[in-house]
Chain A
Amino acid sequence: MNSQLLIQLLVNGLVVGTLYGVVAMSFVLIYKATQVVNFAQGELLLIGAWVCWALLAKYQIPFYFGMPITLAFMFAFGILVQIIFLRPMIGEPIISVIMVTIALSTVFQAALKWMFGTSPQPFPQIFTSQAVSIGGLQIQTVYVMSLVVSIAMMIGMAWFFRVSKYGLAMRATAFNQQVAQSLGISVKSVFAMAWAISATVSAVAGVVVAVVNGVSSGLSAYGIKVFPAAILGGLDSIGGAVLGGIIIGLLENFAQFIDSEYLHWGNLYEVAPFYVLIIILMIKPYGLFGTKDIERI
């Protein structure tokens, strides 16, 4: 039993897990507000990371300017995607909508490879100190930064939905579109806003991951990991998504630990969440916090 490795991996899992939580949160946001299952969530992450990388590394813009520009870009990008690709699909069967987002993810993925190449790129250095010592454990600064940013985004999201007027409008739309519309909420703009916020939040997560690991197309794997996280928490629960993300992150790293210490199968890290996913679907399909779908005839 290598406890040092275990603790290191668990810290790692917590950090990655909160990131999964953030991405799952933005996934659930789109699902709740617009009933669209977004298979292109990982690509939104990737686009954010590449745009920020291009600004910082190619055009030599300092980080504190580059980051707001990236966020503004992603905000506009989210609105555009919703207007161009998803607005025509309103009222279409769910399968068609899912297919549109799957196709979008293919398009984004290929377009990014075309524009930025296939090789991973290191992110420009943002922090100077490499590691801090917390309780005798060496933790990289970027990890601390990542954790702080993730938690800040979660708190920001919670504030937005609890307090702000627009967040309230969004919750109303998610609850019942027709009633919301009759109360004077513009459902159209709520839909666009859901995509914009989701894209922006994903971009922040994307940049954080990029700072830690560099930018590569493998980043979009975070979009796939969203499904285990969101299903575990319940597809329509934002808090559940966050918790699901953290659990999946911890579980991945725990699987990694078991694998490296005892089993030596290799690659368990990547598939473990999917086994969990199948098991959850079998025993508790609406997740830990999701609302059970009751149908009236």
Chain B
Amino acid sequence: MASSNLIPAGDFRSSYAADTTIFPTSTSRNFAILGVALVCFAPLVLTEYWLSILIQIGIFGIAALGLNILVGFTGQISIGHAAFFLLGAFTSAYLSNHLPIPVFFAIPLAGLVTAMVGLVFGLPAARLKGLYLVIATLAAQYILIDFFSRAEWFTGGSVPAMANPFSIFGYVLRGDRQYFYVVLAYVLVSYMLVTNLMRTRDGRALVAVRDHYLSAEIMGINLTKYRTLSFGLAAFFAGIAGALYAHYQLVVSNEGFGIERSILFLAMIIIGGTGSIMGTLMGTAFVVLLPEAMEWLSMELKGGVIDRALQLNTNLTFLREIAIGLIIIAFLVFEPDGLAHRWRQIKAYWKLYPFSH
């Protein structure tokens, strides 16, 4: 962890527990708790619009977290993440509609089902290197989306599937303001789970597989097991996020979950920083806010010279895609460690503020 560079001299960790602690100082822990407490008040002060953006960041953040386990920590790559997201959404909708399972349990169950399917697609690639997994997941993307449009019993075919609203002990949550807390709870739990995973033997094994898989294998790490495990985990979080999305939108359809969405998920973790847990959330926020910012910008420019030259309004979707693509390339070339790295540098700068060394 690069952040540990900022610990003052003389602060020696004398036990493994101290070395892997999440919060190096009590101040950082207090700030984290304070931050979460502040977010809890968000539904009371924010407008519906900003709340919906926060919910989207939360949901896509969970999916991106799963992808970051696969890409950032294990060094594999998947371009079928959107299909798994959608699978989670359909599964949860199906479970809560057709079987006597309340939504509260349907969401984690959907995650498990998605993880199982993810394992099936991950198995052929588990014994191979990154490149082949890319191609296997590409196939997964097309096969799954094709399956969704075909399986009417499961998805409703051309008619979008309906999903029940979230309910807990018979109390039905309605509206964004109440659903926000569900998403927040899931975000907190999944981010804490993954943070803790990375402190365990299994988490370190994943990183070892990424850094040098031959050395990892020689050190007694079962490559197949950990590659498959990371693929299953990635699918699991995609499924959870998809299920949350289904019960947020209340309808699920194939629309908008093609390969472009998978690329968007990859963009989130690249912009945020591959292999950084908090970076994932930053990257997600960036990708979710980018279209909004572009929308706002085009409104500002409306009627101006640039607007007339580029016909912004009609072409906004294309411009957005171009921007996303160029931003991914720019981050890969100029800032491969993503926003998380930039954030650490800003923190370091202020810590040492008047003296730069």
Contact = CB atoms under 8 A, between A and B. Distances in A.
A266 B332 CA distance: 40
Given A104-B329, A267-B146, A95 B75 contact: yes
Given A99-B328, A102-B266, A107-B326, A285 B130 contact: no
B116 interface: no
B125 A265 contact: no
Contacts of B142: 224, 270-271, 274
B40 interface: no
B143 interface: yes
B77 A281 contact: no
B150 A267 contact: yes
A96 B135 CA distance: 15
Contacts of A227: 135, 138-139
B132 A110 contact: no
A100 B322 contact: no
A37 B322 CA distance: 21
A59 B128 CA distance: 50
B214 interface: yes
Contact of A297 (B135, B214, B266, B325): B214
A271 B140 CA distance: 10
Max count, chain B CB within 10 A of own CB: residue among A106, A114, A295: A106
B83 to A, nearest CB: 11
B332 A281 contact: no
A114 B146 CA distance: 27
B305 interface: no
Interface in A92-117: 92-96, 98-100, 102-107, 109-111, 113-114
B161 interface: no
B333 interface: yes
Q: How large is the interface on B (under 10, 10 to 19, 20 to 34, 35 or more residues)?
A: 35 or more
A88 interface: yes
Interface in B81-97: none
Interface in B31-86: 71, 75, 77, 79
A278 B266 contact: no
B12 interface: no
Interface stretch (B185-193, B286-294, B313-321): B313-321
A260 B127 CA distance: 37
A137 to B, nearest CB: 32
Contacts of B333: 88-89, 100
Contacts of B181: none
B260 interface: yes
A104 B325 contact: yes
Nearest to A118: B318
A106 B325 CA distance: 6
A134 interface: no
A275 interface: yes
Nearest to A37: B131
Interface in B126-162: 127-132, 134-136, 138-140, 142-143, 146, 149-150
Contacts of B121: 278
A103 B328 contact: yes
A277 interface: yes
Contact of B324 (A88, A106, A297): A106
Contacts of A270: 142, 146
A1 interface: no
Contacts of A266: 150
B263 interface: yes
B266 A99 contact: yes
A99 B270 contact: yes
Contact of B260 (A106, A265, A282): A106
Given A89-B332, A267-B146, A274-B143, A95 B321 contact: no
A102 B143 contact: no
Given A88-B333, A92-B336, A270-B146, A281 B325 contact: no
B249 to A, nearest CB: 24
A286 B184 CA distance: 45
A282 B125 CA distance: 8
Contacts of A275: 139, 143
Interface in A222-275: 224, 227-228, 231, 235, 265-267, 270-271, 274-275
A85 interface: yes
A109 B77 CA distance: 22
Contacts of A274: 138-139, 142-143
B319 A114 contact: yes
A99 B332 contact: yes
Contact of A295 (B125, B214, B324): B214
Contacts of B150: 265-267
A110 B322 contact: yes
B124 interface: yes
B77 A98 contact: yes
B332 A231 contact: no
A232 to B, nearest CB: 11
Contact of B332 (A96, A109, A224): A96
Given A98-B134, A103-B329, A277-B139, A114 B315 contact: yes
Contacts of B266: 99, 102
Contacts of A224: 138, 142
29 contacts: A85-B329, A94-B131, A98-B131, A99-B77, A99-B266, A102-B263, A102-B266, A103-B263, A103-B325, A103-B332, A106-B263, A106-B321, A106-B324, A107-B322, A110-B322, A111-B322, A114-B315, A114-B322, A265-B150, A270-B146, A271-B143, A274-B142, A277-B136, A277-B139, A278-B139, A278-B140, A281-B128, A281-B136, A282-B124
Interface of B: 71, 75, 77, 79, 121, 123-125, 127-132, 134-136, 138-140, 142-143, 146, 149-150, 214, 218, 260, 263, 266-267, 270, 315, 317-322, 324-326, 328-329, 332-333, 336
Given A111-B318, A114-B315, A281-B139, 6 more contacts: A100-B333, A103-B263, A103-B332, A106-B260, A106-B263, A295-B214
Q: Which 3 A-B pairs have the closest CB atoms?
A: A110-B321, A107-B325, A106-B325
